[in-house]
Amino acid sequence: MKNNKAKLLAVAVAMGISTQASAAIELYNQDGTIFSADGHFNAFYVQTDDDATGDQSRVRMGFLPNWIGFNVSKQIDDLKVGGRSSFWVTINDGTSNVTDTAIDVRQFYGTVDGDFGQVLFGKDFGLYGRSNIFSDELLLGTGLPQINSGGVTFGNISVGYPYTTPNAQITYRSPVNNGFQIAVGVLDPDGGEGGVWVDANSDGLRQASEVTAGQGDDARFEGEITYATDFDGGKFNAWIGGAAGESNTDGGSVEGIAYGARIAMSGFQFTVSGFDQEGISSVLADRTVASNVESDGYLVQASYGANGHRIVLSHGETDTGATSDNEMDSIAYFYDVNSSLKLIAEYDIADSSTGNETKQFAIGAALSW
């Protein structure tokens, strides 16, 4: 059980890109076949003060693990076939093995593109709540503090949105039409691996003991509609998505809705997102709980950026009824040294319904290509 908990924490908590990175380095381009690679590295000095456990000072990863990804595509007549594989690595040991780097394959999928849109088959991040987490302005920072954990920090998971877990799927995406795009998919059901993660402090902030293990009987269906447009001096995008399936706890039906919008203009950016669900874990979106358990939450962020500097203000909450009511306030500063290197400073204050408060200061760097 101990190893399963550590594995779930290391594997389930990070998020990144689901499409080929625009900064990918082209390694091969011949006879219509293109092969490229992208990657990300980060590390932070973190000072954490927790009411329950006291102070802790560490060097660790932030919300994202380090990764390296490989992309391939080939134009064959009217079809473009391709695929992506990405390998995510923690710089902090996830188990008692001193050299364990907790390598996790989050993406391993093929794609077929044509005039009809795109079909994706393999393993990728789910559709439900996907844009909520991809739009988080603290994605490259730290977010929710994690005392004594071996993996990454939590971002705004459980204090604003559930984590859109990578899963086996077959997904269709329509062409973009007047700014709108539709994605629908069938995913493998609740895929617990025989263990659940419970926060070491048991303070309610990061507790996920409601997540069940095992395999459901019915496939999961998810979908998302996105809209994006440019206007004079700015951009606007919005999204709404849903999920429906079966509870692995009691066999009842589960459902959820996730939504959000972002407007950007003159260096300012404002983002709001939320979710409302029944029978779905408030921590891991692919896991189910009892079908009558409700949870909801929201995330509000504002930022301003100019000349490589960006300041972010963030507030998120998740309400799981009788279980917990968690929230976090954050302020972060990002500085672009160049197109690949960012310097980051962040301060977070997280509160739980148990009255426990956790404060964290982090300073570090992220390098991407």
Q: Pull the structure tokens for residue 275.
A: 């979710």
Q: Pull the structure tokens for residue 250.
A: 């009691």
pLDDT in tens, the chain (369 residues): 333 333 333 334 444 443 334 468 999 999 889 999 999 999 999 999 988 888 999 999 999 999 999 999 999 999 999 999 999 988 886 555 555 666 889 999 999 999 999 999 999 999 999 999 999 999 999 998 877 777 788 899 999 999 999 999 999 999 999 999 999 999 998 754 433 333 333 343 444 444 444 556 789 999 999 999 999 999 999 999 999 999 988 899 999 999 999 999 999 999 999 999 999 999 999 999 999 999 999 999 999 999 999 999 999 999 987 656 899 999 999 999 999 999 999 999 999 877 889 999 999 999 999
**Closest by Cα among 178, 196, 247 to 218:** 247
What pairs with residue 264 in β-bridges? 235, 269
Which helix (H) or strand (E) element contains residue 43?
strand 33-50
Indicate whether this model's pTM tops 0.75.
yes
d(CA 199, CA 204): 8
**Closest by Cα among 66, 139, 141, 145 to 106:** 66
- How far, CA to CA in Å, does 90 sit from each of 24, 95, 108, 142, 189? 21, 11, 19, 14, 27
d(CA 106, CA 13): 11
Instruction: Round to the nearest angstrom and report the end-to-end CA distance of the chain.
Output: 37
356 three-class SS: coil
Q: Pull the structure tokens for residue 349.
A: 């204050």
Residues 6+ positions from 338 with CB-CB distance below 8 Å: none
- Domains of the chain as residue ranges with CATH: 2-38+56-296 (2.40.160)
